[in-house]
Amino acid sequence: MLRLYNFHKEAFMNSEKKTEVKEGFIELRHTSSHILAQAVKRLYPDAKLGIGPAIEDGFYYDFYVDKPFTPDDLVRIEEEMKKIVDADYKLERFTLQKEDAIKFLEELDEPFKIELAREIDGEISFYRQGEFVDMCAGPHIESTGGVKYFKLLSTSGAYWRGDEHNPMMQRIYGTSFYTKEELDNYLSFLEEAKKRDHRILGRELDLYSTHEEVGPGLIMWHPNGAIIRNTIEDLWRKEHLKHGYKLVYTPHIASEKIYQISGHLENYAESMYAPIQIDTARYRLKPMNCPGHILIYKTKQRSYRDLPIRYAELGTVYRYERIGTLHGMLRVRGFTQDDAHIFCREDQLLDEIRGVIRFMDFFMKTFRYEYKPYLSTRPEKYIGTDEIWDMATKALKEALRLEGMDYELDEGGGVFYGPKIDIKLIDALGREWQGPTIQVDFNLPERFDVNYTGSDGKEHRVVMIHRTVLGSMERFVGGLIEHYAGKFPLWLAPIQVVVIPISDRHNERAIEVKDRLFENNIRVELDDRNEKVNYKVREAIVKKVPYIIVIGDREVEDNTLSVRTISKDLGSFSLESFIDRVKEEIEKKL
RNA sequence: GCCCACAUAGCUCAGUAGGUAGAGCGUAUCCUUGGUAAGGAUAAGGUCACCGGUUCGAUCCCGGUUGUGGGCUCCA
């Protein structure tokens, strides 16, 4: 399991039980899943058993049943489980030789288990608790009485063995803990997580919306969301220019020709939208930015002295994603990648990758993310020679080592055209989403014949790196909303300061203050509505505005500002010192 | 795409044995000029997602569509 971005969830879950043996959960939850299966078998004798593992936050069990489980069924099952816990059955392990095990499972009429048993060599272990027996590697706790604090959470469909051509099982998810406190903590964590869901906060903070009339997976950025995005994009452009990238723009549609050359039509047609007929040619919505950047590169002969060439674009792409996979801003059909392509010589590859890692690290730190990279190596289906794969994989590994990065290896997880480094974003519930990525590509330079002239006067194939340092604007901002729980740091906050006059006679001064802040490029709003201070302060807090200024008789008289944040009163400031403070914090991105 | 669930006012939700609907918040207007997390009154606001069917009559029952949620699969 990957766990990159420092997370509230981790912080939450670890706070209570840092010293506790975390491994102990595997046994507990594994036994919990057996109790679940036993209860289901009692209530639905025809249910066939799939698999029932312990997972990070709990456990599940897959059943093959005629009718899917309803929420009411879950209540009944949970009650039956309680009886099993109270009965405190011992879990008895026994083993059978493969043939006997299969015969045994045939008697039990468990076709899915038989399928699994056939793939196991040697002895097969079983666990018995009361009348219930399950083929299982274990381990388990001693008896069912140990599972006191559990709860069934949800049901869903799940393909047998994760293959969509297989029958659909019905999965029941649950969780269990050793103490009531832990269980309650976990359940309240789930409640809290809902509140930081970017889809909820996105509406509450007026950041974005989606519309049936526009289509699913297509994001409308409201002013508050747009200013956050724009602030990030400004930084992104500035830093890219500083780091030797050149900014380019490419069109949103392109003739199919380019995707024939790139191979996208051949390999990724499923993810591309249907052609648009224009005059005599067929056009496609752009699913990737790379072909465009390659064409720009190829408009001239390039010398080895010109390399590396780095083209960057906040490029909007459109990809067909299956409807059931869409999710708020995190999985959409139209999105803007913070894309760049580096064309370099083989001998520059290592330095270029190191540069990208450092650059990506700069962005992650700017947003106060902790992260961990994953290195994905050669998959089963691939193009290019073994030598070039080894060279590129070695370069990625070496770059990670030289930059002092811990990483995990995802053996065979690379793309067919090259190995890559991935960073995952984690949402409020701990689900992972692909974020920044650094990919070496052997395919496109071949297909487009992308070359440079070497010092030997001969043509050489360029090495290409695709990379994003954020991922996409949609996913990144969606992730940020959850990361900050809507409480954006000052430099990103859509409204940085609210000025609240206490009564009408303070409006004049309040307007003056607002104007002065505005002149200093501070995002300020005046709340001169006919409401009480309490009311306006509360609303500013709910909107998570970092600084709230109150102006009444005292402030007008002393020529000061009364300043508070969401959580504490900062006391009195002169206008100038407040402006200095705010500007400094924005500058430092605190 | 697959399994299940859901869709009532801008938001959160209630409701109807089938007789075209309510609350709180928000919005507007008025009163109130109030010192750091909700002052008061009045009003406006709904083709009960959409399309069909059953029925004298459908927001409610049935079917379909669209969208949303939790998973599964997928994710260049």
A140 catalytically annotated: no
pLDDT at A16 over 60: no
pLDDT of residue A23: 60
Nucleotide nearest to A433 (CA to C1'): B75
Cα of first residue to Cα of last residue in chain A, in angstroms, is 31
From the list A290, A338, A378, A514, the catalytic residue is: A290
- The string of pLDDT tens digits covering residues A448-466 is 999 999 999 999 999 999 9
pLDDT at A543 over 80: yes
From the list A264, A341, A378, A506, the catalytic residue is: A341
From the list A284, A466, A509, A514, the catalytic residue is: A466
pLDDT at A12 over 60: no
Our CA angle for A204, A205, A209, nearest 5°, is 75
Average pLDDT over chain A reads 90
- Over its C-alpha atoms, chain A yields an Rg (Å, rounded) of 29
- The string of pLDDT tens digits covering residues A103-151 is 988 999 999 999 998 888 888 899 999 999 999 887 889 889 989 899 9
Greater pLDDT, A469 or A123: A469
pTM, two decimals, is 0.91
Crossing angle of helices A98-108 and A111-118, rounded to 10°: 170
pLDDT of residue A18: 33
Task: Kindly write down the DSSP assignment for every residue of A292-357, as one continuous string.
Answer: HHHHHHTTS--BTTT--EEEEEEEEEE----GGG-BTTTB-SEEEEEEEEEEE-GGGHHHHHHHHH
Crossing angle of helices A575-588 and A507-519, rounded to 10°: 40
Nucleotide nearest to A530 (CA to C1'): B33
pLDDT of residue A9: 42
Nearest to A445 by CA among A323, A298, A547, A576: A298
Residue with nearest Cα to nucleotide B39 C1': A532
3-state secondary structure A25-71: HHHHHHHHHHHHHHHHHHHCCCCEECCCCEECCEEEEEEECCCCCCH
* A276-278, strands of its sheet edge to edge: A253-255, A281-285, A276-278
Greater pLDDT, A96 or A343: A343
Nucleotide nearest to A539 (CA to C1'): B37
Query: For strand B, which nucleotides have at least one atom less than 7 Å from a protein CB?
Result: 1-5, 11-12, 30-39, 66-76
* For range A174-178, the mean pLDDT: 92
Listed in order, strand segments (DSSP E) in A180-261 are: 208-209, 220-221, 246-247, 253-255
* For range A322-340, the mean pLDDT: 95
The three-state secondary structure class of A138 is coil
Q: Are A471 and A340 in contact (CB under 8 A)?
A: no
Distance CA A234, CA A228 (A): 10
Distance CA A100, CA A114 (A): 11
Q: Are A61 and A35 in contact (CB under 8 A)?
A: no
pLDDT of residue A428: 80
* For range A39-65, the mean pLDDT: 92
pLDDT > 70: what percent of chain A? 96
pLDDT of residue A189: 87
pLDDT of residue A56: 84
Q: Are A283 and A256 in contact (CB under 8 A)?
A: yes
A1-10, A143-152, A529-538, range with the lowest pLDDT: A1-10
